[in-house]
Structure 1
Amino acid sequence: MSAVPDDIAADFIIEAQEILDRLGEQLVSLEQAPEDADQLNAVFRGFHTLKGGAGFLAIHAMVELCHAAEDTLGKARSGEITLLAQHFDAAQQSLDYLQSMLDAVSAGREPTHAPPALIAQFDAHGAPPVIATPVAAAAGGGDLISEDEFEHLLDALHGDAAPGAKALPASPSPAAASPAAPKAAAAAKPAAEVEHTVRVDTKRLDAIVNLIGELVLSRNRLKTLRTRLRDEELDRAVSTLDIATARLQSAVMRTRMQPVGKVFSRFPKVARDVARSLQKEVDLELIGAETELDRNLVEALADPLVHLVRNAIDHGVESPALREASGKPRSGHVRLSAQQEGDYVSIEVQDDGAGIDPERLREKAREKGLIDAEAAARLSTDECLHLIFLPGFSTKAEVTDISGRGVGMDVVQSRIRELSGTIQIQSELGRGSRFMIRVPLTLAILPTLLVQAGEHVYALPLARVVEVLHAPQTSLGWFDGRAVLDRRSHTLPLIDLRRWLGVEPSPAALLTVVLLQAGEARFGLVVDQVRGREEVVIKPLPRALRGLPGYAGATLIGDGRMALILDVDGLRASD
């Protein structure tokens, strides 16, 4: 690699990653419609731009591989060849190698060259194409670009360059010669319409978010003091501060938001690769890619979603022959969708495959000793479906490279819970399955319901609260040694928070019960008092409580006291 400024190299890494993410989706679309000239041009430009930037940085391995892809795509653009399955396979494999090369560059290592067989696969006749040897940052390097041209490349990647815009100088190969648009094309846009962006280190954004969190805590404290002091002037000042804090909080949070499309863009390639390895036919539909989430959540959701999509194709979608035999289209359908719902975002992975047999899950869990026969017999259909989240649970008869439903699904659920989210399942035999994830827009500030047990205050994630109700002690029943409440023809199990904490339960004649949602199940939490809703800033648990079930974090509330944030799933499981 050449000695170039660190900031230029860092910019290239960021932009190259965005190009790679887009190329996976673009290649799948082109394979489905090879006659689409616009998509072919977009894929060509992607490899061409990567080659230009890599050439400027003298990343020879990337230049070599991108040139091979670009050369074949250029011949397809000119009508010299028709793209074949081998070309698409080679292009998709090249993305994996380019990703490894980019990771090496990010880590300061010299990338490894792609196998010669892969480069040869790009040639329509099986013979390796003639590849120009990249020259280091010296005069006359055909694959290299100047620093000014590189800066223009980075500007273009932000969206200012339209399809067919100025192509950067590449190798002398005829396939790489693109028509250049006037340099002033972007400048022709009226100044008022030009969007200006500034790169900001994410650590700075995180620091600002932390400061906003402290401001929110101070605001909550002042609001509590306001009710005690009852001073009209103070009341107006606190109200003004409250409004300004809310606006500032919203503005800062928006700077951290990213569309889930940043993650969704990789799934067409994932679906294609998995389907081909299993000899299945699958159409992937993406909906709501523009839905925005906190960038930390977008990145954290990537692995769970990959697992769910792979499982939908592996265990959900049947083989083409089986689908035809059952009257279904040969090609299976998997839908990945996202939409905002208030302070939360719902993400769903749905397939039209064979569905999940709850009775088979019940039997498998019993056979593996994950649940005893008596408990298994009492499970409802929905509870049976959630057995796949038990550690070590699987219904798959043989192990393959593709994770089956149940293999690692406990990890998926744990990861979603770490994000203060929930995951639920719906399935119908012969019709398919649907996995529904719900996560907050941001993890920095959490809407909660404050409750009291004894002298201590606890916070419950508001997303898990269904309703608050009151019930006389005399209305309680008992089942399997635990208190239950008949609620709208359903038996609702109760957990007394004081008893769970190891404190003598309240002797009150009228119980205050917070109805909570845990997966498909609901239960009631008996508390002494409900204090109301409050936005809290999540802090790490005290060292003595780390690892204990039922606790998700800590926070400071308006009266200055520390309150523990309860983990609803852990609370129910540990009772």
Structure 2
Amino acid sequence: MSAVSSDIAADFIVEAQEILDRLGEQLVALEQSPEDRDQLNAVFRGFHTLKGGAGFLGVTAMVNLCHAAEETLGTVRAGQGQLTSAHFDAAQRSLDWLQGMLDALSNGTEPPHAPPELIAQFALESPGPGTGDRGPGKATAAPAAAASGDISDDEFENLLDSLHGAAAPGSKPLQPGPGKATAKAAAPASAPVPGPRSPVPAAKAAEVETTVRVDTRRLDDIVNLIGELVLARNRLKTLRTRIRDEELERAVGVLDVATARLQSAVMRTRMQPVGKVFSRFPKVARDVARSLQKEVELELVGAETELDRNLVEALADPLVHLVRNGIDHGIEAPGLREASGKPRSGRLRLAARQEGDYVAIEVQDDGAGIDPERLRAKAREKGLIDAEAAARLSADECLNLIFLPGFSTKAEVTDISGRGVGMDVVQSRIRELGGQIQIQSELGRGSRFLIRVPLTLAILPTLLVQAGEAVYALPLARVQEVMHAPEKTLKWFDGRPVLDRRSHTLPLLDLRGWLGLQVPPETLFTIVLLQMGDSRFGLIVDQVRGREEVVIKPLPRALRGLPGYAGATLIGDGRLAMILDVDGLRESMA
């Protein structure tokens, strides 16, 4: 790499990653509609921009690969050739190699060079009119070696502008440091050097410069400080009820409103559209479908839905697994689909929407569906559940067997599935994010996986409850209602209390008993109804203290890994409260 500022290299990596994410989706769209000039131009610009930035930084491995793709795309744009499936395969493979090169740059290591056969795969079958004597294989020449040379100060400034945008009016040109009279750009000779830019009026530039890049660590620090402010506000609100001073009431009221607005504004700065994750799935779906010789149409809905940046990144792996599973396990081969009266091409739908303080993401296919009886038999066969427990499971409960560690219905191990590792990891990851996952499936019609995660991991709306002398926090999104039930309305089934509620029998868990506390005799029970997927259950507590927004803190070391606990927090009176894991509580009743 050339000796350039680490800040410029870091900016290039960020922008290149965004381009790569878009290219996967654009290439799939172009393959489906080869006549779409807009998509062809967009793909060409993507590779061209990557090549220009990589050339400026002297990343010859990236320049060579992007140049091969750009040459072919440019020839097709000129009407002198056509793209084949081999070219699209090469382009998609090149994205994987370019991603590896970017990862190497991020880690400070030398990017690997793409294999010559991949670069050769970009060559067109035969030269078109006006292309000279360039035949197959000519596009594989290493372009960077022919163009290494000094560039002028004006060219250097223009290349910086292409990475950062025009400089602010009145700013001085970047001067080379001692011993660095000029920067060497390893760009191909055929790559046009941007011409001088027109001066931008100060007023116009002020209108254009509406965004600024901020290190995400600084945002995280601000969010942590907002969390501490929220805790202090909650403490003051508690003290206000004891002191009963009019001026204090007004001051705390103003602080409450200001804190809420500040919290909302800071949280919005960390929000990103889930489309950042969705953009990679057209490529994932295409690659998996081709490897399995299946035909799949991917539909993306709600890509503009916003979510905390940390959650967007954390959801990537679980969603990739669900998409791959939907194509591998769900969607049938084209011949089987036609035999059952379905279109040859299967449909996979990836959708996101906001629901209050949560975001719902669903992965739905129109494939064969999941047979609950087959899951029941497989779980027994693998020894994951005993015969008696398996017999008691309902059809919906059988679907949840796929979340058991080591469970798989695949007879053969492939690169895509069959190792018995996957869905349990997906569920664990979603729970770590404070979310839940549920399954719906119908034989012959397809399956639907629904994920619900909070908008942010920093601050959580909760319902505070008390059991004994301690206070516990329940995620408010999982609370359905709070009710009081006389002792005579409770019944017993298999030694556990249940409650008949609106034609449904709800299992009950006494939080005091679960904690190992002595349960006092009482005639009126306070019950919090909680949601877990499509089912509900009741949690018996001593009393409900009310709603409070809490800042999530890591669990104390002694409690890490224990089921039923999701985190800890400080409440308004300054005491430590444990945040309970609703799914873990329900599973403890099994």
- TM-score normalised by length of structure 1: 0.93
1:137 and 1:106, CA in 2 relative to 1: closer, same or farther beyond 3 A?
farther
Residue from 139, 144, 149 that aligns with 1:129 = 139
- Pairing 1:565–2:579 present: yes
Distance in structure 1 (CA, Å) of the matches to 2:186 and 2:56:
11
| 1:106-505 matches, cutoff 5 A | 106-125=106-125, 126-135=136-145, 139-140=149-150, 146-155=155-164, 171-173=188-190, 183-184=197-198, 193-403=207-417, 407-505=421-519
1:232 Cα deviation from its structure 2 partner = 1.2
1:190 Cα deviation from its structure 2 partner = 5.2
1:135 Cα deviation from its structure 2 partner = 4.4
- Pairing 1:531–2:545 present: yes
Which stretch shifts more, 552-561 or 369-378?
Answer: 369-378
Superposed CA RMSD in Å reads 2.3
1:504 Cα deviation from its structure 2 partner = 0.7
- Helix, strand or coil at the partner of 2:144: coil
Distance in structure 2 (CA, Å) of the matches to 1:156 and 1:90:
31
Distance in structure 2 (CA, Å) of the matches to 1:299 and 1:459:
26
Q: Which residue of 2 aligns with 1:79?
A: 79
Which stretch shifts more, 457-466 or 180-189?
Answer: 180-189
Distance in structure 1 (CA, Å) of the matches to 2:334 and 2:200:
48
Structure 2 gap ranges (5+)? 126-135, 167-184
Contact 2:55–2:188, Cα closer than 8 Å, also in 1: no
Q: Which residue of 2 aligns with 1:164?
A: none
1:230 Cα deviation from its structure 2 partner = 1.3
Q: Which residue of 1 aligns with 2:49?
A: 49
Question: What do the CA deviations read for 1:249-280 (whole angstroms, capped 9, x no partner)?
Answer: 00000111111111111000000000000000
1:395 Cα deviation from its structure 2 partner = 1.2
Distance in structure 2 (CA, Å) of the matches to 1:186 and 1:270:
42
Which stretch shifts more, 15-24 or 358-367?
Answer: 358-367
- Helix, strand or coil at the partner of 1:62: helix
Contact 1:307–1:403, Cα closer than 8 Å, also in 2: no
- Pairing 1:541–2:555 present: yes
Q: Which residue of 1 aligns with 2:567?
A: 553
Distance in structure 2 (CA, Å) of the matches to 1:48 and 1:540:
45
Q: Which residue of 2 aligns with 1:161?
A: none
1:40 Cα deviation from its structure 2 partner = 0.6
Distance in structure 2 (CA, Å) of the matches to 1:190 and 1:103:
37
Contact 1:58–1:137, Cα closer than 8 Å, also in 2: no
Distance in structure 1 (CA, Å) of the matches to 2:435 and 2:43:
36
Distance in structure 2 (CA, Å) of the matches to 1:189 and 1:281:
53
Question: What do the CA deviations read for 1:323-370 (whole angstroms, capped 9, x no partner)?
Answer: 111111111100111111111111010111111111111111122221
Contact 1:275–1:282, Cα closer than 8 Å, also in 2: yes
Question: What do the CA deviations read for 1:402-452 (whole angstroms, capped 9, x no partner)?
Answer: 125964100000000000001111111111111100001000000100000
| Amino-acid identity (%) | 78
Contact 1:459–1:566, Cα closer than 8 Å, also in 2: yes
- TM-score normalised by length of structure 2: 0.91
1:137 Cα deviation from its structure 2 partner = 9.4
Distance in structure 2 (CA, Å) of the matches to 1:116 and 1:131:
10
Contact 1:58–1:135, Cα closer than 8 Å, also in 2: no
Contact 2:48–2:66, Cα closer than 8 Å, also in 1: yes
Distance in structure 1 (CA, Å) of the matches to 2:387 and 2:210:
64
Distance in structure 2 (CA, Å) of the matches to 1:349 and 1:481:
38
Contact 1:311–1:405, Cα closer than 8 Å, also in 2: no
Counterpart of 1:342, as a letter, is G
1:473 and 1:98, CA in 2 relative to 1: closer, same or farther beyond 3 A?
same
1:6 and 1:155, CA in 2 relative to 1: closer, same or farther beyond 3 A?
closer
Counterpart of 2:6, as a letter, is D
Counterpart of 1:290, as a letter, is E
Equivalent pairs counted in the alignment come to 561
Question: What do the CA deviations read for 1:457-507 (whole angstroms, capped 9, x no partner)?
Answer: 000011111111111112221111211111222221111111111111132
1:393 and 1:169, CA in 2 relative to 1: closer, same or farther beyond 3 A?
closer
Contact 1:385–1:425, Cα closer than 8 Å, also in 2: yes
Counterpart of 1:318, as a letter, is E
Counterpart of 1:246, as a letter, is A
Contact 1:344–1:440, Cα closer than 8 Å, also in 2: yes
